Structure 1
Amino acid sequence: MLRNASAQILKQFVRHRTTDTNLILERSINRVQLLGRVGQDPVMRQVEGRNPVTIFSMATNEMWRSGEGEPTSTGDVSQKTTWHRISVFKPGLRDVAYQYVKKGSRILVEGKLDYGEYMDKNNVRRQATTIIAASRIY
């Protein structure tokens, strides 16, 4: 059984070749896990001709102690808060997130990173980073 599991894992990391020698398909990973607090109640939006999407913001915190780098250092504690935009497209997950996730809730989001561009009100091109919730929200 262990041999079969090892073989399956190895196959996932090996290049998959097609009959076309110029085309090589590789497996890759784009996975994100965030544990933090919801910054606003989710909003459901729908653009004409597209499925609805649930969107909310989420904050994660990073804390560290300034000092000489020693474990017994009594330096000041610093904190950095990072805000993330979460989009939920998957129908069942989208509806659950919209109905049950609330501002201040502590949740775990699993998904993938997505980078995109949009035009703002002044016709200036902006870049946006979004976490696409793919599998679970706890």
Structure 2
Amino acid sequence: MNKVILIGRLGQDPELRYTPNGTAVCNFSIAVERSFTNQQGKREVDWVNIVVWRKQAENCANYLEKGRQVAVEGRLQIRSYETDEGQKRKVTEVVANNVQFLDYGQGNGGGNNQGQKANNNQSQGGKEDIDVPF
């Protein structure tokens, strides 16, 4: 089974692009806090790359921005590619099946908080947001 569930904050605004056949794909990274502290008493974070496809990709690009908190459910994917210089690289990312907006920011898509809440509730099947412990 390959299933990942993460809660974190966006480190930058999402990037939306379209494949040659017109399919929307959105990329962003989230900071996920570790459950323990380091020797200095601070929590470290892991940066996780997220890939979202189709209509949900467009929603993420329209309503998410740097600093927003999200819950991401998806699968872990590790892919390889070769650079123009011939170097082999590996990329680890989460391909999202579901992205839930956990807070309501200003939004960069011109929408208001009510529109974002309606959009978020629609993607959750009408469920209310859950409280996040951090």
- What TM-score do you get using the length of structure 1 for normalisation? 0.65
- Whole-Å Cα distance in 2 between the matches of residues 135 and 83 of structure 1? 18
2:89 paired residue among 126, 129, 133: 126
After superposing the two structures, state which structure 1 stretch, 46-55 or 91-100, moved more: 46-55
Task: Please give the secondary structure, in 1, of the residue aligned with 2:62.
Answer: helix
Q: How many residues align?
A: 101
From the superposition, tell whether residues 120 and 137 of structure 1 become closer, same or farther in structure 2 (CA, over 3 Å).
farther
From the superposition, tell whether residues 79 and 120 of structure 1 become closer, same or farther in structure 2 (CA, over 3 Å).
farther
Aligned counterpart, 1:41:
13
Q: Tell me which amino acid in the other structure corresponds to 1:80.
A: E
- What TM-score do you get using the length of structure 2 for normalisation? 0.67
- The answer (yes or no) to whether the contact 1:97–1:137 under 8 Å persists in 2 is no
2:58 paired residue among 67, 82, 95: 95
Runs of 4 or more off by more than 6 Å in structure 1?
none
Does the alignment pair 1:105 with 2:64? no
Q: Which has the greater radius of gyration?
A: 1
- Whole-Å Cα distance in 2 between the matches of residues 54 and 128 of structure 1? 16
Aligned counterpart, 2:98:
135
Q: Alpha-carbon deviation of 1:105?
A: 0.3
Aligned counterpart, 1:71:
none
- The answer (yes or no) to whether the contact 1:63–1:78 under 8 Å persists in 2 is no
- Whole-Å Cα distance in 2 between the matches of residues 83 and 65 of structure 1? 16
Alignment RMSD, CA only?
Answer: 1.9
Q: Alpha-carbon deviation of 1:76?
A: 4.2
